[in-house]
Amino acid sequence: SQSTMRLHIARGALSTVMGLLFFWGLARVPLAQAIALAFIAPLIALFLAAVLLKETVGGRTVGASLVAFVGVLVIFVGQAQADLGREATVGSLAILASAVCYALNIILMRRQAQVAGPVEIAFFQSLIVTLVVAALIPLVGIEVPAAIHWPWLVFAASLAIASHMLLSWAYARAEANYLAATEYTSFLWAALFGWLVFQEALSPYTLAGAAMIVAGCILAASKPGEASPRLEAAT
């Protein structure tokens, strides 16, 4: 329908801006600091869900998100570097702007998931982002990656599509304010793969922050209300 297509277009365009801001900032800010800044998005999404989706945000969910966010701050304190210069400051602002876009993205994802299936959402998301980026090529130019990078690009794209479909499936079955807190667990996966792939040691700050993130997610894991799009459509 036209209303569903408008959602696809809006979220695809928003995702393009979000991605460009994040990767531009990531080139100027240490990885740990960038991830810590990006984690502001689930907190923003909690309150956007209350305003835009009329969802009830309980004290338990807000408290859980605050506990997890404090865990992110602990990691930030342990890993952020001092005196990074103007470039890092501007990069941090870009990542914060990206986080705001991502919070809106979570809300749109919830609306999409109530009217479209995971395959449809993933298809139009990929198509619209491709079209928007292609439209920008004449303005910014493009450098074709070397052949050695293409298998990894295809692998990364496959992971992105799979995760997108899983998120769409999840957001069709639970409210955005409930699922937003689980976003914090991605740092745990980042720490694990950083250790396995790059041999990055975990500092005491990282371990303490991770413990708080897990505690916050467990605190938020109360039983969510029914949120089936089919049930809502029927009522």
In this predicted model, which residue has the larger pLDDT, 227 or 26?
26
**CA 69 to chain CA centroid, nearest Å:** 14
In the predicted model, what is the mean pLDDT of residues 139-168?
Answer: 87
91-126 residue pLDDT tens: 888 988 998 898 888 888 878 888 888 888 888 988
Mean pLDDT, the chain, as a whole number? 78
pLDDT surpasses 70 at 47: yes
Tokens linked to 217: 């997610």
Q: What is the DSSP string of 133-174?
A: HHHHHHHH---PPPGGGHHHHHHHHHHHHHHHHHHHHHHTTS
Most confident listed range (11-25, 156-170, 196-210, 219-233) = 11-25
Which amino acid is present at 203? S
